[in-house]
Every structure is written in C-alpha cells, then in structure tokens.
Structure 1
C-alpha cells in the first residue's frame, strides 16, 4: 500500500467518525452502522478503493456518499481538495461536525443527489462512489476528466464487484476489479428510487 495512504489511515482516528455507541468497533476492520440504514465502509476496503485512484496530492476529487466522513478525511489528506455529496441531511451534518473537529478544511460538503455528481465543480481527477449500482451513472462518467479514474461498486446492492475505471476518449473503461464486497444501494435520480424518508 502507498506510504502516504498508510500514514493517512494511521493518523485519522476512525473513532472520531462513528456513532458514540459504536466506538468499540471503530478500530476493527468491519463496517459500522451509522443510522438510517447506512454503514461506514470498512477501513481496508476504503483504503483499497482510494489506492486505486493513484492520488499524488494535487487532485480535485469527488466523493459520492460522505457517510460520517472517515473516507472523506482520508481523501482530503491525499488530494488537494474534495467535494463530497451526501443524500441524507442529518448524516451530512454529523460528517461536517466530525471533519471540523479533526481540522479537515479542504472539503466542500454538499447535501443532495450524488447519483448526479456535482457538475458545477467538475471535471474531477478522481471520483469514488460509496454505493452500488449496476452501472456508472452517466452524469458521473461525464464529470471525470480525460485520463481520470473512478471507482465504484458495480452490482445491485448487497453483492458487488468493486471496479476502478479509466476515463478515455470513448468514455469509462474498466481498468481493474479490486474485490468482491457488499454495499448499500446508490439512490437518486440516476440510481435506485429514493426512500421517502431519505429525501432532503
């Protein structure tokens, strides 16, 4: 694993990004429930997804699915800046508070439909999607700059292949299948229908 990524994982306290009643599990390599049917990605899987992006330090990154901000903080330590979009306002508020407590300042946190990306800040050098859909939504494809990378779990939700894609002249091309994994579904206009309770 890249030394910069290892250092980011070592120095970012996961306990600061999980619910208080889940702190005992913060340093186990497992997903942690964060409420509203959502979970944090286990650290080894987050690290694998981030590593596939090949970040060198100067990148402009989009994260779809902020959760409580742990992966966001890792990205922020490895790239120039991060735009992160979270569907659920309450989870986004908690993520913002967590990031501020850890003095992570180079993140712009948006509340909204991540399946459409954040077009007003595009193009991105790298995109990480933390929810599953059978294909990469067209708006996200369009927001990756030429030669940029996107990593997303591809599948129906619950049984996925995590795939890293490269942006070519003809669109996104699969570059590497990283692992099999289980993710929540990507909800939104370009994903699965949103639950009524989740609408902003």
Structure 2
C-alpha cells in the first residue's frame, strides 16, 4: 500500500519556508466487498493536502476484507501517513541590509499596523474548527518605493491555513515608508509577527 500511495498521491502546492514532514491521520472503513468508504482526516491540517489524501484513498484498489468467523464484516482503520513537504515558497531578493538610517515603517506606525492586521485578518476556518492558534513570522522586502514584495514565512510550519493567511495579509498591505540610508530611500528586508488568537 505504501508504494501505491507514493506513486498515486499528488502532493499539492503548499507554501512552506522550510522542508517539513507532516503526519496525516486517515480514518476509513474497509467494507465486506473490499471497498474503502467513510474516508476522513482526523485533526485536519493543510486543506488541499487532506483533500489529495482522501482522493488517493478513494481511488485505491479494493482491500482484502476483515472476517468475523467465516463472514466478511466492515472494519474501521486508522492509518497515519508521514508525508515530506519540500520548501516551496519563493525566496526573497538577495537584498543587502546595511546600517540604515531609518528602518521601513508602516504608514501611521505600529498602532496603525496592528489595526490593519486586525481589520483584514480572516481566521482560517480549519484552524478555528481544530482550535489552533499561533504566531506566524512573515519576512518580506520593502522596495525603495515602499512596495511590499516577496513575503514568506519563517520558522516551523503551523499549518491549518495560518501561513497562507499571514502571507495574504502582508501582500495586501499598502505602501510602506521605505528604509533610508544617507537621506535616500533604499530597498531593505523587514519582518513582522502576526498572531492568531482564537475568539473567546
């Protein structure tokens, strides 16, 4: 079965900063005719990966059924799949970070940035359903003209859509005040922490 999964499972694009191994716990029932039914994922993670796993199990050939005495009976299985996901996020520009006079700033300062995040954050449904919270660090480039570009996450992946939502918020941001060096605006790297806290 492992070889069949490796050959037929189509790993979807998932934006990740680092190589990551995730465990997908698949629950399913082997019916008396060997077909797999009631395929579900316990503790859902990356939604598109969970869907790909379910699709692969749905297309799987029939199994040998379980027997009670001489009669084939439905049997419920729980199977953990360890899947390796490679780093897929685009890399930032190779931007030197000199001793700038002024670091990049969100227009209006920290309070305005916090308000922008709070106003635009859409808590991922899968994270809310699973009771998942966390803090995501997003690194990005503020170009000399204030445009935000090349956002990617750093640190261990939390999943459940948090990384995707954090990047979406950063990419939605208006122009920043760029970093300044010797009185001139320059392109520089910056990073922020976006916290996801479950509603009380």
Taking structure 2 as the reference length, the TM-score comes to 0.25
Query: Could you say which structure has the higher helix fraction?
Result: 1
Taking structure 1 as the reference length, the TM-score comes to 0.25
Q: Choose 1 or 2 for highest CA Rg.
A: 2
The structure showing larger relative contact order (alpha-carbon pairs under 8 Å, at least 6 residues apart) is 2
